[in-house]
Amino acid sequence: MNYVVQAEHMHVRYGHSVAVKDISISVKEGELLAIAGANGAGKSTLVNAIAGWSRATPRVSGTVTFKGDDVSKLRAEMRARRGIALVPESRGAFAEMTVHENLSMVDAKNDEGKNFEIEDIFGLFPRLKERRSQQAGTLSGGERQMLAIGRALRAAPSLLILDEPSVGLAPRLVVEVLQHVKELTQDGLAVLLVEQNVRAALEVADRLSLIEQGEITATGTADEMREDDRTISAYLGGLRAP
């Protein structure tokens, strides 16, 4: 198995409160694993711990193995250089700068010296090319999400972690953004997708895991999860996904 990332026994606490309880997940080359769950379930905390980021000072234990190496002790910047790219929910583009400037200013070299040229990013997201001179702050939500993904891709990551890319997007744009993400897996990129919209996630995911109160309560292939009674009643409004 070509695992890109294996996170084992991840346990994260904020003070006395445990946000992630002994979770193990892994993603293979070219695979898209979706993590779904309600607000506050621990999704962001889990993926931040894998990338080495945090919004505060959580206590993290567990092992993150990335392309065969233990990166658990590395800082976020070092993990990023190894090829772990995280697009946070806030997306993080510079509003006053143009699309092109936002893509130019990224430190695009990874440890292997590989990167995506801006024209490659425009090839993936033609809408960004059309808007290359537009200020990022004036882009639509979907376009801003594409820009955030484009920025993350510049350093040619092996693992792309997307934290709720569909937040604030119209349903049509959610599908468009997720389809672009899905296309990227065809070249071997591993994707870890945090998504509250389970229906949308099941359209593109190879596997889906549900998190409730910091624990994985169900996991399976997209086909299995479409038939899973708990998923259907809790996340698909009682209706089976098409």
Ligand X SMILES: Nc1ncnc2c1ncn2[C@@H]1O[C@H](COP(=O)(O)OP(=O)(O)OP(=O)(O)O)[C@@H](O)[C@H]1O
Which residues bind to ligand X, rule: CB under 6 A? Answer: 14, 17, 19, 37, 39-45, 55-56, 196
Nearby residues of 79 by Cβ (< 8 Å), 6 or more positions away: 51, 52, 64, 66, 71
Least CB distance to ligand X at residue 138 (A): 26
Residue number, 26 or 196, with CB nearest to ligand X: 196
Least CB distance to ligand X at residue 146 (A): 21
Residue number, 12 or 103, with CB nearest to ligand X: 12
Cβ–Cβ < 8 Å for 136, 144? yes
Residue number, 40 or 188, with CB nearest to ligand X: 40
Tokens encoding 151: 């920025």
Least CB distance to ligand X at residue 205 (A): 17
- The 10 Å CB-count burial string (b at 16+, else e) for 119-148 is eebbebbebbeebeeebbeebebbbbbbbb
Residue number, 143 or 163, with CB nearest to ligand X: 163
The Cα–Cα gap between 185 and 159 comes to 10
Least CB distance to ligand X at residue 56 (A): 3
